[in-house]
Amino acid sequence: MTTDSTVTTERRGRVLLIRIDRPQKRNAIDAVTTAGLDAALNLLDDDPDLWAGVLAGTPVAFSAGTDLAAGAGLATPRGGKYGVVRRDRATPLVAAVEGVAYGGGFELVLACDLVVAARTARFALPETARGLVANCGALFRAPRALPPNIAREMLLTGDPLDAERAWSLGLVNRLVEPGAAERAALELAERVCAHAPVAQRLSLRAVAAADAERDARGWAATELADAEVNASADAAEGVAAFREKRAPRWSGH
């Protein structure tokens, strides 16, 4: 097993288990975590002996998204934000979700190929409650993974989607009992590894290529929305209200 202060990696045969381990912050992503995730995904991408990966959090939380107090650090050259969401990746990656996957945490899930979730898991996109927009892929990946009306409701209200409904809507591949998500995700990754790795990688690359133009438009629209919202008074107010632990006072500007 290898570790830095917030991300651990462990080889399980052909599978690389990557854990975000910052439980005191509900696995919120800071600069150190971004660097750790980037290094772990680089290893998964580059080591020919690794045929699948599992991305997990801790029992209470998969990830609460960006650490609004500390910031998530700079986007990485290979992975983009969090070292993950804009990665050109062909090694299958399974998300193992216990507890909350909120904001950027949900966007990490959406960047994976398969999803295993405990029945107590929750998914949410609460960015507009802070005067912000989801800027790590959810603006176009959520309407692809879920019915568009459900994705729009998540984006506009911030209300969480429980794991059972996420499974019924097709977002979640395996629904398991609390505490079993990581084990079930490893089992699913091992099933993936039972098949030819070259064919697996080429299959994922073909799927990505079919969506490449749509993704490029999605990222361009996301970057425009992010730039405009970050220049707004409401964005500054939303972050200030979060830090001061008070209700925001929106101006609409």
**CATH number of 87's domain:** 3.90.226.10
Q: Is residue 159 part of a domain?
A: yes
Is pLDDT of 16 > 90? yes
pLDDT tens, 129-140?
999 999 999 999
237 is known as an active-site residue: no
Q: And the tokens for 245?
A: 């632990």
The owner of tokens 């969506």 is: 211
Is pLDDT of 5 > 90? no
**Percentage, residues of the chain above pLDDT 90:** 96
Alpha-carbon distance 101 to 128, whole Å?
Answer: 16
Give the model's confidence band at 68: pLDDT under 50 very low, under 70 low, under 90 confident, else very high. confident
Choice among 127, 164, 177, 187 that is catalytic: 127
Q: Which domain holds residue 96?
A: 2-200
Q: Is residue 223 part of a domain?
A: no
- Tell me the mean pLDDT in the region 104-108: 98
Contacts 24+ apart (CB under 8 A), 233-241: 234/131, 235/130, 235/131, 235/132, 236/131, 237/131, 238/129, 238/130, 238/131, 238/132, 239/68, 239/130, 239/131, 239/132, 241/130
127 is known as an active-site residue: yes
Q: Is residue 218 part of a domain?
A: no
Alpha-carbon distance 34 to 12, whole Å?
Answer: 23
The pLDDT value recorded for residue 200 is: 96
Q: Is residue 233 part of a domain?
A: no
Q: Is residue 163 part of a domain?
A: yes
Q: Is residue 234 part of a domain?
A: no
pLDDT tens, 196-228?
999 999 999 999 999 999 999 999 999 999 999
Choice among 10, 98, 107, 190 that is catalytic: 107
Q: What share of the chain is helix, strand, coil (3-state, %, to 5)?
A: 45, 20, 35
Q: What is the reported pTM?
A: 0.96
DSSP, residue by residue, 34-84: HHHHHHHHHHHHH-TT--EEEEE--SSEEE--B-TTT---PPBTTTBGGGT
The pLDDT value recorded for residue 242 is: 87
Give the amino acid at 181: A
Most distant pair of Cα atoms in the chain: their distance: 56
Is pLDDT of 2 > 80? no
The pLDDT value recorded for residue 177 is: 98
pLDDT tens, 77-95?
999 999 999 999 999 999 9
When divided into structural domains, the chain yields a total of: 1
The pLDDT value recorded for residue 34 is: 98
- Signed CA dihedral, 220, 44, 4, 55: sign only: positive
Is pLDDT of 12 > 70? yes
pLDDT tens, 44-67?
999 999 999 999 999 999 999 999
> Going edge to edge, which strands form the sheet with 2-3?
2-3, 7-12, 15-20, 52-56, 93-97, 114-118, 174-176
CA-CA-CA-CA dihedral for 59, 62, 66, 69, to nearest 10: -10
Q: Is residue 164 part of a domain?
A: yes
The pLDDT value recorded for residue 4 is: 58
